[in-house]
Chains A and B, each alone.
Chain A
């Protein structure tokens, strides 16, 4: 059973460009979460999605950031007009659609390191 897949692993963008980060959840998982980790910090929640629905985007910046999880294909975190402050590691996690501890346990991908020049 393959784990959570993220690509690219490293992404370099110049200020003003767009960054697209992809996440494929584990097989059988229908919940996807995105987190951001700044240097020397813990992970901060950004958004929680299920197929075709954004459930909680309370951690997303109001501008330039968007996320989707289409019926087919990976979840996408999109950052428009990137700025240097967007440089961070972006982690995707997924969890299964079962009740209790199994549902609440999130499994993480390897992350995408975004560097904005």
Chain B
């Protein structure tokens, strides 16, 4: 079975500091894609960052970057210079290549950025 585990139900960070959210996954597939989505209090699902499993280079989007360790099946999200607007639920997800590309989500990490 394909699963995603986010081991930190809640985290907090001070404004302007850096925080890392962890994610591990389990799949027997070799080709897949990984995502982090943000869900603020409005509950809209917003794509934060994405990564192809065949790429060794870690994806970066402004203050957001990932540490992708394929052998360890780990895909952590680092948020630099945290802002109050980063307060949200963060969901890690993956999908396999080809066919029905449903996303498999973790249970999420609730991040609070404190002033």
Q: Are B102 and A56 in contact (CB-based, < 8 A)? A: yes
**Inter-chain contacts of B102 with A (CB < 8 A):** 33, 45, 48, 56, 58-59
Scoring A residues 14 to 47 as 1 if CB is less than 8 Å from chain B, else 0, what string do you get? 0000000000000000010101000001111100
From A33, A58, A110, contact of B103 by CB (8 A): A33
Q: Are A91 and B45 in contact (CB-based, < 8 A)? A: yes
Q: State the CA gap A110–B97 with chains docked (Å).
A: 26
From A31, A44, A111, contact of B105 by CB (8 A): A44
Q: Are A104 and B105 in contact (CB-based, < 8 A)? A: no
Q: Show the binding face of B for A, using Cβ within 8 Å.
A: 4, 33, 35, 37, 42-47, 50, 52, 91, 93, 95, 97, 99-108
Q: State the CA gap A48–B104 with chains docked (Å).
A: 13
A2 at the interface (CB under 8 A from B): no
Q: Are B35 and A108 in contact (CB-based, < 8 A)? A: no
Residues from 53 to 102 in A contacting B, C-beta threshold 8 Å = 55-56, 58-59, 89, 91, 93, 95, 100-101
**Inter-chain contacts of A7 with B (CB < 8 A):** none
Of A95, A104, A106, most buried by chain B (CB within 10 Å of CB) is A104
From B103, B106, B107, contact of A106 by CB (8 A): B103
A-B residue pairs, 4 tightest by C-beta: A56-B100, A108-B45, A42-B105, A45-B102
Taking the nearest CB of chain B, how far is it from the CB of A70, in angstroms?
Answer: 20
From A42, A58, A91, A108, contact of B106 by CB (8 A): A42
**Inter-chain contacts of A106 with B (CB < 8 A):** 95, 101, 103
- By beta carbon, the residue of chain A nearest B104 is A45
Q: State the CA gap A56–B44 with chains docked (Å).
A: 24
Q: Are A110 and B44 in contact (CB-based, < 8 A)? A: yes
Q: State the CA gap A35–B43 with chains docked (Å).
A: 13
Q: Are B43 and A104 in contact (CB-based, < 8 A)? A: no
